[in-house]
Amino acid sequence: MTDGTEVESKHSSTLTAGLIVVALYTLASLFCWQHLLEAGVTTHMYRLNLGDVGQGVWFMGWLPFAIGHHTNPFVSTYMLAPHGFNLLTNTNFFLEALILAPITELSSPLTSFNVACIAAPVISAGSLYFVLRRYEMRRAVAFVGGLVYGFSPAVLQADRIGHFNLTWMFFPPLALYLIDRICFRQTGSPLRLGLVLGLLAVAQFFSSPEILLDCVVVGVPAVAVAAAANWRQIASHARFALAASATAILTAGALLAYPIAFYVTGPDHVSYVNAAVAPGATLSSLVWPSGTTGHGFLVAPPGTPLLHRFDLAFVGPVIVLLALGALAFARRHRAILLLWGAALWCIVCSWGAATRPTGTSHAFGWHAPAWYLVSAFPLLRNVGWLRISILTNLLLALLASITLEGVLTAWRAAHGQASGRVEGLIAGAAGVLMAVPMFIGGRVPFAGYVDVSVPAVLRSIPALSDGRPSIALILPGSGPFAGTPMAWQAIAGFPYADYDGYAWHPQAGSKTGVVGPLPTVLVYITAKAAETSPTVVLSAAQRRQIGGAFAKYHVTEAVVIDGYPGSKQLTRVYNQLFGSGRRIGNGEIWNAARIVESGEVRSPVK
């Protein structure tokens, strides 16, 4: 009875401590998102010129909508209509959308997206905390390690700009732990470990296939090096490892066979996105601000404040020094050398195409490893190499935790059991020294949120006579630099299919992907509306050309929202094509079905 009571008490203590840790991580995340909480989680989203945030809201709303309407969630014609696009070849996050579907249904996809963003660092940090506790590290050390990983700039900056598929980083720590159990420690049932790893891989595929691929790029060489260094133990470890690996592969393969086939051969799939390996982090990124992340639209212009020059690879000098300190324990724990080797591999992979001393210099003396990897394995062309910094942060956080655990163990050995409070203070001080530079590099707290209340006119777009959604051409368009219209469509419950959009989809006659709709007259008139003369009068030829485009692409509704560049000009154009529109709230709508059906074009309006 006593033993049972002790076990129950231990479990209760572990659960209580875990809940306290989750609460502390949640408070830290709420601090990061404090301005969103002030603005309103149900009404606001992060303000950026990029469409990624709005696209994320769209993805969050699409899955429950597709399930509720019994349509294939992997492909959609509700954006980039009537052509459509393949969601599996875009940065979807089916897992998170499914988990948060109740919030989406009860409130809106905007609410669920914002809740998911707040939860992301908590989930990421909590996953490493769990792993470190499984390695029997002190709770304070595990808490600090989780903080360093889950609140790193690689996670927080990606989260903030809508790259939500790079934020729920539960898979890397858990996969690392399972691979250690399978290949090295070999404790427990190999079949059960393989089953868990396989299911975890499936979950990650539906959260972010890119991160799954990144883990393969790092994990396969690391395991191969470990096997070569311990070749005498291969025979004794092979049976356990093969049984677990086969179970993982069979589990993941059975569940992902159809999605992967759809990913590779499905309608509107994209073979590859990047034509070449993009630049990534720089030699200084790890410990010092970098002037550019290597992505063209995120290049820091001259005069950019220091705060905004940190890229995703930054972790800070304190973390790096503590990670280096783990080498002092390498004689007793040879795995530390393997962890450092994997961390260095992540660092050089994060450089992308070439080595660069700083972000403001594109000079390099040789191609970086990623360039050679892509040459050998074209599939890796789609990897965003800067994002592999997430794995760098994981390994450095783990190494820093090993150092901190070793220091506290030595302290206890020297000062006895009565030093628990001092140990907590040491761990807390180390956590502060590590967290403050990260929060600065992650630009915490976040600011800049925009109200995304849906214009009433978008909720009033009628369906076709057979119940199918109308295809609408809307100003402002949902291009790569306008995310709000995509959020509007999702929040409104997808009452129409949008001719515009922002997604990778195949260009006619090409295997590469393009962003946004196919170049047509319809795209031209919305894109150039602001440059059109306020007194424009269309010629008969122009009316026939535009009207023919409406008919060709089955666009039956034209909508203009007031207050945007070109709103007045495009309103005049539509009045000449369709007659007077119908005003609803701050927008106006024209029914183009007449042109679609008969090609009728009205006389010009003077």
* Sequence-separated (6 or more) residues with CB below 8 Å from residue 110: 42, 43, 45, 57, 60, 452, 487, 490, 491
Residue 242's Cα: distance from chain center in Å? Answer: 32
* Sequence-separated (6 or more) residues with CB below 8 Å from residue 506: 268, 269, 270, 271, 512, 513, 514
State the pLDDT at residue 511. 56
Query: For residue 183, what is the DSSP state?
Result: I
> What is the signed CA dihedral for 504, 506, 511, 513, rounded to 10 degrees?
-20
* Sequence-separated (6 or more) residues with CB below 8 Å from residue 500: 79, 80, 473, 474, 477, 478, 479, 485, 516, 517, 523, 526
State the pLDDT at residue 257. 96
Single-letter amino acid code for the residue at 476: P
State the pLDDT at residue 557. 96
Report phi then psi at 554, rounded to 5: 60, 35
* Sequence-separated (6 or more) residues with CB below 8 Å from residue 265: none
Question: Max CA-CA distance within the chain?
Answer: 94
CA distance 360 to 294: 10
- CB-side exposure of 526: number of CA atoms within 13 Å? 23
Count other Cβ atoms within 10 Å, centred on residue 366: 8
Please report, for residues 102, 227, 519, 593, 606, the alpha-carbon distance to residue 538 in angstroms, rounded to integers and kept in the order given.
49, 73, 21, 20, 10
Residue burial 228-250, b: 16+ Cβ < 10 Å; e: rest: eeeeeeeeebeebbebbbebbee
State the pLDDT at residue 300. 45
Whether the Cβ atoms of residue 179 and residue 223 lie closer than 8 Å to each other: yes
- Taking each helix axis from N to C end, the angle separating 484-491 and 52-68, rounded to the nearest 10 degrees, works out to 20
3-state DSSP helix/strand/coil percent for the chain, to nearest 5? 60, 5, 35
State the pLDDT at residue 36. 93
Looking at the DSSP bridge assignments, the partners of residue 506 are: 513
State the pLDDT at residue 15. 86
Report phi then psi at 28, rounded to 5: -65, -40
State the pLDDT at residue 147. 96
State the pLDDT at residue 295. 38
Q: End-to-end alpha-carbon separation of the chain, Å? A: 94
Mean pLDDT by 10 residues, the chain (606 residues): 61 84 96 93 86 92 96 95 90 93 97 95 97 94 96 80 86 97 94 98 95 93 92 91 97 96 88 73 80 42 50 88 93 89 94 73 68 84 86 96 92 72 82 86 84 95 91 92 92 96 77 77 93 91 91 94 95 93 95 67 43
Whether the Cβ atoms of residue 139 and residue 31 lie closer than 8 Å to each other: no
Q: Which two tokens stand for residue 355?
A: 């080595």
Q: Which two tokens stand for residue 20?
A: 């306290």
Whether the Cβ atoms of residue 396 and residue 319 lie closer than 8 Å to each other: yes
